[in-house]
Chain A
Amino acid sequence: EPEVTQTPSHQVTQMGQEVILRCVPISNHLYFYWYRQILGQKVEFLVSFYNNEISEKSEIFDDQFSVERPDGSNFTLKIRSTKLEDSAMYFCASSDSHNYGYTFGSGTRLTVV
């Protein structure tokens, strides 16, 4: 079964530091997404990415966030200057069609101290 791979599984960073969360989507998928889930809360949409550009972003996805597909396999989320409230589980997802549902990775737990 193809899967979405996220690394690292857990990252601890100091407030104000930059972090890059990495994802390898399923190889033939064209649509990519980042979500976050603060402990005990809902899954929040951050951004969708298609054809090498952002297709949609939420109000959460401000100038502190950026996404990149640096090569044919990786998809990254960068947070420039982390805040305590950025502590959450970050999920990457991918899909071969916008209609058929997304496959989620197992997530990266980000802890900002």
Chain B
Amino acid sequence: QKEVEQNSGPLSVPEGAIASLNCTYSDRGSQSFFWYRQYSGKSPELIMFIYSNGDKEDGRFTAQLNKASQYVSLLIRDSQPSDSATYLCASAPRFGAGTRLTVKP
């Protein structure tokens, strides 16, 4: 069974703080990993993709991949209230259950 596991949260951080989201996956053959954001009632939107071990930065977002540990993470720096959403980790093509993030002003 190919599984993607995320802490369901909810995770609450103050505005300006770093939010840390984590994910593990079971399929050792998986090559591509994605982070999506989903606002309530909306479709998922892609934040970042990563397929090489290490870190990948895009603005306030940093994705980290460790294939040996089968672990993917997402850091959101300088969190804003508009970042409040459910964050979905994917080990392509499967998604985790999501972590609900709330950023408090």
Task: Decide whether A and B assemble into one complex.
Answer: yes
Q: What 0/1 readout, one digit per residue, does chain A (71-113) give for beta carbons within 8 Å of chain B?
A: 0000000000000000000010000001111111111000000
Asked if B93 and A99 make an inter-chain contact with CB atoms under 8 angstroms apart, the answer reads no
Considering only CB atoms and an 8 Å cut-off, how many residues of chain A contact the other chain? 21
> Chain B, interface size: which category?
20 to 34
A101–B93 CA distance with the chains assembled, in angstroms: 9
Which residue of B is nearest A47, CB measured?
A: B93
How many inter-chain residue pairs (CB < 8 Å) link A and B? 48
Asked if A43 and B32 make an inter-chain contact with CB atoms under 8 angstroms apart, the answer reads no
A91–B93 CA distance with the chains assembled, in angstroms: 13
A41–B86 CA distance with the chains assembled, in angstroms: 11
Asked if A45 and B32 make an inter-chain contact with CB atoms under 8 angstroms apart, the answer reads no
- A104-B43 contact in complex given A98-B32, A99-B31, A99-B51, C-beta closer than 8 Å: yes
A48–B36 CA distance with the chains assembled, in angstroms: 18
A105–B45 CA distance with the chains assembled, in angstroms: 10
